[in-house]
Structure 1
């Protein structure tokens, strides 16, 4: 099951540390087969507002995502971002190819 590291960054202050972080992050992802799906860019809000930079990194599974985040290589550069960027980061497991949202609806209906 794929897993994703999601970043929701509300305040990005330009700084040489942030540039160094961006330049070095791919080398920390490679051993865990991590790849960027979204790395900032314009957001078209269809409902509500999105006042944030969004980042999505895909991994083969949650074990790889967690191992990447906790790896010495990533921990070494993490402060380069966190000192100058406010926001949230989290890991989440994706759904498989046979996912049916109607089943989720059934579970929610039973909880009423």
Structure 2
């Protein structure tokens, strides 16, 4: 089974306090679901159509594990806390090998 990568970008942040509360809940929820944070923060550089937006990269053992993390009660609670405090783009992709 191939590993999977959760790629989350924040297109805009409307409420910094909600974002902080989300991060406090989302991080532990991802780790409890087997996620391993590989990178997070602003890009060092962006090229072509790239945008300098906050990005998080989390590795999971499989797509199913990443989807289960998203659907977990702990992560859903983090999303409720965020409550329209940010516009995000979230993708889960399977590793090539």
Contact 2:45–2:52 (8 Å) recurs in 1: no
What is residue 77 of structure 2 aligned with on the other side? 76
Offset at 1:12? 1.6
Mapped to 1, the partners of 2:24 and 2:71 lie a distance apart of 19
Q: State the TM-score, normalized to the length of structure 1.
A: 0.74
Q: How many residues align?
A: 96
Structure with greater strand percent? 2
Listed as ranges, the gaps of 5+ residues in structure 1 are 97-112
What is residue 86 of structure 2 aligned with on the other side? 85
Q: Secondary structure at the match of 1:19?
A: helix
Q: Which has the higher contact order (CA 8 A, sep 6+)?
A: 2
Which of the two has higher C-alpha Rg? 1
Aligned pair in 2 of structure 1 residues 26, 8: CA closer, same or farther (>3 Å)? Answer: closer
Give the CA RMSD over aligned residues: 1.7
1:49-75 CA-partner distances (Å, limit 9, x unpaired): 314221111101111101100001100
Q: Secondary structure at the match of 1:5?
A: strand
Mapped to 2, the partners of 1:86 and 1:25 lie a distance apart of 16
